[in-house]
Structure 1
Amino acid sequence: MNLFYAAKLRFEVQNEDALLLPCRIHLFDQNEKPQKIEGLPYWHDHFVCPGSAQLELPTGRYRYEIERGPEHERLNGEVTINDESPTMVRRQLNRIANLRDQGWYSGDLHIHRPLSQVALLGEAEDLDFAPVITWWNKSNQWEANSHPQAGEDEREGGALLFHRLTSHIDITQSSREVPSPMVYVEQVRREHPSVWIDIEKPFWWDVPVWLASGQMQSIGIANNHMWRSRMLPTEAWGRARDEKRLPPPLGNGFWTQEIYYHILNTGIRLPPSAGSASGVLGNPLGYNRVYVHLDGKFSEDAWWNGLEKGNCFVTNGPLL
């Protein structure tokens, strides 16, 4: 790559009708360094755009990947840019499934991205529902906003996600173990009767207590240990699996599934949920998503009601 010369590279991504299509772009130089663009949402190794994006880059060869959630095909290619004239990459990104037409609406319940970016992020990922976590342990960024916001209590025993709130609850004074997460569960139930409480992952140590409380409403099966680029190999500070029986890289996923089946076999009927932790871990928004089937039009209330009934499935790619 020639670092002394810069050239312009423009992307235009279109749908089948030749209209610009919001999407996610992963762009890497010859050293596999991800490229970002000023003014567009960027995270980890990708940026999203409303269908077009222009960058000024050192001359050289680049490779790209273009995606828009699991209902569209994935594109990839290479481009060489020079300082003689602007380079254009124009690609058509085709839809391969339309679950919305069949009554299925997608959501990601674990998002740590700025509220100001989430509208474009949702369009670029073809995601229907994207509540944003704005308070989390010692951090509280809740603000007056019409977009649905949520909170997370993540400490020694694991993590709980609180959705369908009209205001935050203050957990900033908590330590790693005190007070018990159940103190906040009881508080939020009193102050927000319509709250939805999601167990963020099934292998957290406090999961048996949370299940016994009868206060939980869903559990994260496609969770943030599942990345677009890899599987996280351990259970963090949760209950570790037997790696001889369930070796990496897929062992963590099988362990998650196994625990969930044990929960169902006890007679506890918790619907599966999904979350990507985009903004904290290395996933795009909506990489892990839960599809909920609705009989009528989409609304937030209808979506939560459908999830409560268990009319859902989770995925991070395959659509069977």
Structure 2
Amino acid sequence: MHKYKPVRKVVLFNAFLLLQVLSWPGILAAQQPSTGRLEVQVLDASTNRLTPVRVRLSRNGWAVKELPKEAVAVMYGVWDHADGYNYQPDSSFYVVGQFSLNLPPGTYHLSLAKGPEYVEQQHDLQITAGQVHQEKYQLKRWVNMPAKGWYSADDHIHIRRSPREDSLLLNWTQAEDVHVGVMLRMGDFWETYYPQYAWGEKGVYQKEIFLLTSGQEDPRTPELGHALGIGASDKVRYSKEYYYYDKVFDKLRELGGLSGYAHQAETFHGYRGLTLDGLRGKVDVLELLQFCASDKPLITNHYYHLLDLGIPVTAVAGSDFPWCGNDHDKGPPERSARLGNVRFYTYVNGPFNYNNWKAGLAAGHTFVSSGPMLSFEVNGQLPGSKLPVSKGTTLHITAHVYGHSTQVPLQALEIIGHGKVLSRITVEEAGQSLEHLSVTLDIPAEQGIWLAARAYGNPTQAAHTTPVYVQVDGKNFHNPATAPHYLKLSEKYLKELKKELKNRQADPQYQAWHYRAGLERRIAETQQVIKGMKKQLK
């Protein structure tokens, strides 16, 4: 028995030493878990299914640097560079309804959003080391526009696309509740960017009531503005006749597409191109809502210019992702460029698909919005409709706008006729609220007129319909009172352009002078149109 005693003493001594070592603070800390685990599921309340969603996770105001493996990643960036991948410019990311992440202990802030029709959610979470924190959230709509036949679109997204990226990109647009994402190939005098693999129906990728399609922002020049092409069966580019936008517009129409101007025709002297092509009947659409030119996204002066001259133009809107946000002038990393930060809604007659959507767009059944949701009719006709009536006919105008008390708090609803406010309702008036404003107006049809609805929420939230075009006794809807002013303004813009053509620029971006002969012919054609309009006014 004695021969075992020394061994027993050694074992006891070693155990004592081990306990002493383990009692050191560093060793104990190493043994304890240093992180907790966050597991999140996000469901659509109406379907109880996992839904694509935008997520931002922060701590003490700073975005968490580690991303979950479930984050949906697509390469994107200005000038088609790889500036971003997993994160969005505001440090948010997209997931398809669920994610998990190991996090150091502490308090975190979780933001969940899914476009303007859903109520955003904000949550504070406490993560404890060694514990799993599970959360399940339901995102609820405050309005359901597809149920009313209206589907949202962002007509201005710059991301290169191949069939491999389609499903990922659709997750992005689904997370912003954008039903039609128009991916624009962008061009300039030298080259093109953000290539698209196919056009027209061949370039459509659809899943349920969401789809992607191809378009173009080309030509783009600093003297004439940026052109848009949507819905054509092929791309159109004339490199050796680059400044002749009308050739591109004519070809896009031939290919079943629509064309017009981006950025409200406000930047890059787009009002010149809009005048040159709009007065000659080449323009179908104008981006009326965007955060590129101003933090107040609705700029109507160039739109009303054409409308008051009796030229119908459909209102569209797009984010110009990843270029523009409502703090666009701050630059990275603070810029808040985001898919669908402005959008337009199209009334789709029948099942939602590419062709039905394009037919609604071609008919002008649209309104643009950065939050408020508009409903507008004149004698039962939707925006974009031509309404022929006899003089003296009563025009029954109804307008409603819907909002959310905290997310889209409504302020005012207006009925616009020939650019003037015919009726205005504010939230302070009896029967009106932050969530719903309505107005009804009956006026006699004395002359042709274009009529539209316009609404405002907070300073960055606005909406505007394409007009209903009222034609009295077969005459056009132009505004006799303002047309002389707008014709003079048109002449001013043409003179401005003509002067530009005489200056041979050293800056290689400015090439209009090289196309002087062809542009002067087009200016002369537009001047003849102006001359004809003046005769009609007399």
- Alignment TM-score > 0.5, same fold: yes
Once residues 34 and 260 of structure 1 are traced to their aligned partners in structure 2, the CA distance between those partners, rounded to angstroms, is: 43
Q: Is the 8 A contact 1:142 1:168 kept in 2?
A: no
Identify the match of residue 221 of structure 2 among 129, 152, 155.
155
Q: Which has the higher contact order (CA 8 A, sep 6+)?
A: 1
In the TM superposition, 1:1-320 aligns within 5 A as 5-16=34-45, 17-33=47-63, 35=65, 36-38=67-69, 39-41=71-73, 42-45=87-90, 46-115=92-161, 116=165, 117-137=168-188, 138=191, 139-144=193-198, 145-147=203-205, 148-153=213-218, 154-156=220-222, 157-170=224-237, 179-182=242-245, 185=248, 188-189=251-252, 192-202=254-264, 203-204=266-267, 205=269, 206-225=273-292, 233=294, 250=296, 253=297, 256-281=299-324, 282-319=336-373, 320=401
Structure of greater Rg: 2
SS at match of 2:170: helix
Once residues 35 and 247 of structure 2 are traced to their aligned partners in structure 1, the CA distance between those partners, rounded to angstroms, is: 54
Q: What count of residue pairs does the alignment treat as equivalent?
A: 288
TM-fit CA distance, 1:75:
0.8
SS at match of 1:295: coil
Q: Is the 8 A contact 2:154 2:339 kept in 1?
A: yes
Once residues 178 and 315 of structure 2 are traced to their aligned partners in structure 1, the CA distance between those partners, rounded to angstroms, is: 18
CA-to-partner distance for each residue in 1:187-211, whole Å, 9 max, x for gaps? 7448x53122131122142322231
Residue 18 to residue 140, structure 1, CA distance change in 2 (3 Å): closer
SS at match of 1:130: strand
Task: Report the counterpart of residue 432 of structure 2 in structure 1.
Answer: none
TM-fit CA distance, 1:33:
3.1
TM-fit CA distance, 1:270:
0.5
SS at match of 1:280: coil
Once residues 183 and 293 of structure 1 are traced to their aligned partners in structure 2, the CA distance between those partners, rounded to angstroms, is: 28
TM-fit CA distance, 1:140:
5.0
Once residues 88 and 302 of structure 2 are traced to their aligned partners in structure 1, the CA distance between those partners, rounded to angstroms, is: 31
Structure 2 regions of 5+ residues with no counterpart?
1-32, 74-86, 206-212, 325-335, 374-400, 402-538
> Between the two proteins, what is the percent identity of the paired residues?
23
Once residues 186 and 93 of structure 1 are traced to their aligned partners in structure 2, the CA distance between those partners, rounded to angstroms, is: 42
Once residues 295 and 71 of structure 1 are traced to their aligned partners in structure 2, the CA distance between those partners, rounded to angstroms, is: 21
Once residues 246 and 363 of structure 2 are traced to their aligned partners in structure 1, the CA distance between those partners, rounded to angstroms, is: 27
Once residues 103 and 70 of structure 1 are traced to their aligned partners in structure 2, the CA distance between those partners, rounded to angstroms, is: 17
Residue 79 to residue 149, structure 1, CA distance change in 2 (3 Å): same
Q: Which amino acid aligns with 2:312?
A: R
Once residues 279 and 138 of structure 2 are traced to their aligned partners in structure 1, the CA distance between those partners, rounded to angstroms, is: 51
Q: Is the 8 A contact 2:314 2:364 kept in 1?
A: yes
Q: Is the 8 A contact 1:15 1:92 kept in 2?
A: yes
TM-fit CA distance, 1:104:
0.9
Where does structure 1 differ by over 6 angstroms across 4 or more consecutive aligned residues?
Answer: none
TM-fit CA distance, 1:13:
1.0
Q: Is the 8 A contact 1:200 1:223 kept in 2?
A: no
Structure 1 regions of 5+ residues with no counterpart?
226-231, 234-248
Q: Which amino acid aligns with 1:88?
A: Q
**What's the C-alpha RMSD, in Å, of the aligned pairs?**
2.7
SS at match of 2:288: strand
Normalized per residue, which structure has more helix?
2
